[in-house]
Amino acid sequence: MLDHPINQAAGLLDLAIAPSPKLVAMVSHGDERVELPLLLQLCTALVGFGHPVTVLDGTVLETPDNPGLAQLLDYSMASPVASDAPSWAVLPARQGLQTLASGSDTGLHSLADTGGLFPQDSVVLVYSTAQTLAHLLRGSSVRPVLAVSSTKTSLLTSYLALKRLLLKGALEPTIVNVVDNARASTPIDPSRMPTSLTDCAKYFLNYQVNALNVTAPTSDERPSASIGRLVLGLLENALPLNSGWSIPHRPYAPTVRQYHPTGAH
């Protein structure tokens, strides 16, 4: 390794710290009709802000034909490299995230050590269940996005996800109330949060829900101002990733999975 040059500027070299990747998260709790279009909008907005994005999809298992995070961790696939124009891609990550969650519990490598696997100044978005995120991000500053719609199933699963994040992970999520006026028989007042989630969180968890209201996006719609504010809030609370676990950067071709607002996943 080359030694630092001895000159008047030598002391400044230690201050020139390269920007590290930043990690944000989104909860998968079964409401894909709402979650996937919102995830697409988040990625589009992040790219618009100049950040390359890698989505680690914890709902999809890595396979030899569709490698992902597990292969990055065992050195059988090369790391991404930054492109001239920011873009986003999706990697299967269920097994890899489980490995990292186990490492966090045993004191070995954790998700925070994976900065060397991704390009500098990029954003890593982990999309996984509340249980997995609670293990991976326990006690961190990350505020995972928890998207909620007005359906009864979504209200139930979002409450269970909220409970796991708060009690198991000490994580305070960013709750997004996705309003779909096009599907409603009468227009929905976007200033109101679904009452049952608010009441259940207050009564059973002693937690006050403060939700950001977002109109349900369409596939060809540009990110709205509310999505932009949401992204800026996520970046403000993002987890900087260290380079404790790194492999050489070589060109690679990740499998890019496109999300469709119909819910196909």
DSSP output for 165-180:
HHHHH----EEEEEE-
Which is it for the CA torsion 236, 110, 30, 197, positive or negative?
A: negative
Q: Read off the pLDDT of residues 75-88 as tens digits, 9 standing for 90 and up.
A: 767 666 656 667 88
Q: How many CB atoms lie within 10 A of CB 177?
A: 25
Residue 249's pLDDT band (cuts 50, 70, 90): very low
Does pLDDT of 112 surpass 50? yes
Structure tokens at 141: 């500053």
Residue 190's pLDDT band (cuts 50, 70, 90): very low
Does pLDDT of 170 surpass 90? yes
pTM: 0.81
CB 56 within 8 A of CB 93: yes
Structure tokens at 134: 């609670």
Contacts of 170 (CB under 8 A, 6+ apart): 138, 139
pLDDT of residue 160: 95
Residue 196's pLDDT band (cuts 50, 70, 90): confident
Give the residue, 88 or 249, on which the prediction is more confident: 88
User: Quick one: how many helices (H) and strands (E) in the chain?
Assistant: 8, 8
> Hey, what's the torsion of the CAs at 197, 201, 203, 205, to 10 degrees?
160
Q: Which of 35-49, 54-68, 131-145, 187-201 has the lowest mean pLDDT?
A: 187-201
- Going from N- to C-terminal start, the domains of the chain cover 19-240
Does pLDDT of 95 surpass 90? yes
Burial 59-75 (b: 16+ CB within 10 A, else e): bbebeeeebbbbbbbee
Does pLDDT of 253 surpass 50? no
Cα dist from 205 to 77, 139, 162, 175, 202, whole Å: 43, 18, 9, 15, 6
Mean pLDDT for the stretch of residues 217-231: 83
Residue 219's pLDDT band (cuts 50, 70, 90): low
In CATH, which superfamily holds the domain spanning 19-240? P-loop containing nucleotide triphosphate hydrolases (3.40.50.300)
Q: Which of 115-119, 134-138, 177-181, 190-194 has the lowest mean pLDDT?
A: 190-194
Average pLDDT of the chain, as a whole number: 80
